[in-house]
Chain A
Amino acid sequence: MEKFINILKKLDRRWIFLMIFLSCIIPFWIPSLFDQEFSTTKETQRVYDIVDGLKENDAVFLDWAFDPTLQAELLPMAEQFLKQCFDKKIRVFIYYPFISAISLGENMLESIKKEEKYSYIENGVDFIHLGYLPIGVDMMMFSMYSDFKSTFGKEGKIFRGIKTFNDIKYLMAFAGSTYPESYILLQRRFGFKMGAGVTAVTGPDFVPYLQTGQLDGMLFGLKGAAEYENLRISKGAEKKLNHRANAGMASLTLSHLVMFLFIGLGNLIYFYDRKHKKN
């Protein structure tokens, strides 16, 4: 036992990095080995139900506040949200509060368009990139409630019937920071309905807003994205084209198991040392 403990004590940290690396990458190569099922949280279900309950030609506002650094968690959410909207023929207004987010959003829409089912979607008709404005959410909201179209200076058929933000049925903010709080601060004042898609790190900060009803639906981390994918798959979406987050979930699970193993071993060393020091 002591020999084993001594080996563990001297273990180079780079072996741990290597184990985590392998545990993340192997499930992508052998996905069938790590297939798993998990339940859907009511917050994810709520986002799905809200979009599902919208009528054809309704409009939603998507705040795309993340850049490629956060795409692993947030891109699958945004993808599924957009696809669900297109399935329901809902118009999507996409706003980018950060310059670095624009190309990611544009690329995502281009890749969705490549799928046969969504080949019909057109910028300015089914969705529109509203671009970036160098102003805060507060000023933008006041402007959108005064005149939606002129706030962004864009043209297109998509603006038909949208005079102010009152005509938008749902606001969805995807972010890896506390940025959606800027909308939440104004939510009661204007009374719009909003949800959020956030990373696992920032997720806990938004739970109080769910309890008060300021947030109506939330997608939380990679698991939230995978739940959303599964909901869409259960309603007929093709699994092959909608598994980005589910593919990552196997990696997440295996890497956590490896971490649990090392935490367990660390504790074993600690208690073993303590016991032997006492003796």
Chain B
Amino acid sequence: METINFILDNTIMNTTFQAWISVLFTLMMLSFLFKDNPLYKLGENTFLGISLGYGWVKLWELSVVPFLIRPIKDAYLDFQPYDLTMIFWLLMGFTMFFRFSRTKAWVANYYFAFLFAYIAGYEIPVQVQQLFIQGSNMMKPLLEYPTFFEISKWFVIIFGTFSALMYFFFSKPQKGLLGRTARIGIIILMINFGSSFGATVMGRIALFIGRAQVLAADWFATMVLSSLIIVFLFVYFKFIHKEPGLDDEQMH
């Protein structure tokens, strides 16, 4: 046991080792930007495997044990009438497995019926309430808005929404006033798509900055490992990897 602890302390639990592994896997994943290669595949599969393994262990520890196994054990040792509700829902949960049977799949429908009824019963009123809150906020007198900018926002929202809807109105030819409104509508839609795209790019860059922080913090590891990865990619694509020929392409 001591040997195992020694190995763990000097590998997985060692902060320097952790930092190098973090840099190595970041660079391995980024190597895909050059070309699909075995290092990227290794990084991808390692990530998936660790994520799934970690997720399952945590799910078992934080969800299955405290909310299923422990209550059942307690009920077995000291049964109380209210434990019947737990057993009822446990059995209801198990009915989901009937989905695997072709002839008895209908049994699972009772559980789904309850689930959908609950979701509809809860969601519909709160979503309608949400619509009223948003709608009533737009119906305030314009002079109640504190600044001219706020008032202009109101016009943009109301007329922007209307003109964007008109763009999808195909019951009449889009000429004259309808055509001009639809033209404003498409401009509004383009501005919307543009801003969404801009925000997405900014978000993606921000995500990469998270990785760049790791690489910049351990610059020595970054230099050494990126050099090794470049050498590997050169050797792999120059001498090992065979470009698919005509015969290979035909096979696919």
Interface residues on A, range: 35 or more
Contact between chains at B58 and A138 (CB < 8 Å): no
Contacts of A24 in B (CB 8 A): 205, 208-209, 212
A247 touches B (CB below 8 Å):
yes
Contacts of A251 in B (CB 8 A): 205, 209, 212
Contact between chains at A208 and B58 (CB < 8 Å): no
B89 touches A (CB below 8 Å):
no
Tell me, in angstroms, the Cα distance from A200 to B217 when the chains sit together.
Answer: 24
Contact between chains at A73 and B207 (CB < 8 Å): yes
Tell me, in angstroms, the Cα distance from A251 to B206 when the chains sit together.
Answer: 9
Contact between chains at A252 and B209 (CB < 8 Å): yes
Mark A66-81 against chain B: 1 for CB-CB distance below 8 A, else 0: 0001111100000000
Contacts of A208 in B (CB 8 A): 134
The stretch from B1-9, B97-105, B122-130, B238-246 touching chain A is: B122-130
Closest B residue to A25 using CB positions: B212
Known contacts A28-B216, A248-B209, A188 near B133 by CB under 8 Å = yes
| Interface of chain B residues 104 through 143 with chain A (CB within 8 A) | 122, 126-127, 129-130, 133-134, 137
Return B142 CB to nearest CB of chain A, in Å: 14
Contact between chains at A102 and B127 (CB < 8 Å): no
Interface residues on B, range: 35 or more
Closest A residue to B136 using CB positions: A212
Closest A residue to B216 using CB positions: A28
B67 touches A (CB below 8 Å):
yes
Return A21 CB to nearest CB of chain B, in Å: 8
B213 touches A (CB below 8 Å):
yes
Known contacts A186-B126, A214-B133, A199 near B203 by CB under 8 Å = yes
Return A210 CB to nearest CB of chain B, in Å: 11
Known contacts A25-B216, A248-B209, A185 near B126 by CB under 8 Å = yes
Tell me, in angstroms, the Cα distance from A226 to B100 when the chains sit together.
Answer: 52
Contact between chains at A100 and B55 (CB < 8 Å): yes
Contacts of A153 in B (CB 8 A): 66
Contact between chains at A28 and B213 (CB < 8 Å): yes
Return A178 CB to nearest CB of chain B, in Å: 13
A201 touches B (CB below 8 Å):
yes
Contact between chains at A247 and B213 (CB < 8 Å): yes
A-B pairs with the 5 shortest C-beta distances?
A72-B210, A28-B216, A201-B203, A200-B203, A24-B212
Which residues of B come within 8 Å of A, CB atoms?
A: 30, 33-34, 51, 54-55, 58-59, 62-63, 66-67, 122, 126-127, 129-130, 133-134, 137, 195-196, 199-213, 215-217, 219
Which residues of A come within 8 Å of B, CB atoms?
A: 14, 17, 20-21, 24-25, 28-29, 69-73, 99-100, 102, 131-132, 134, 138, 153, 184-186, 188-189, 199-201, 203-204, 208, 211-212, 214, 221-222, 247-248, 251-252, 255-256, 259
A28-B212, A100-B55 given; 11 more Cβ-contact pairs under 8 Å: A28-B213, A29-B219, A72-B206, A72-B208, A72-B213, A138-B122, A153-B66, A188-B129, A199-B206, A222-B202, A255-B209
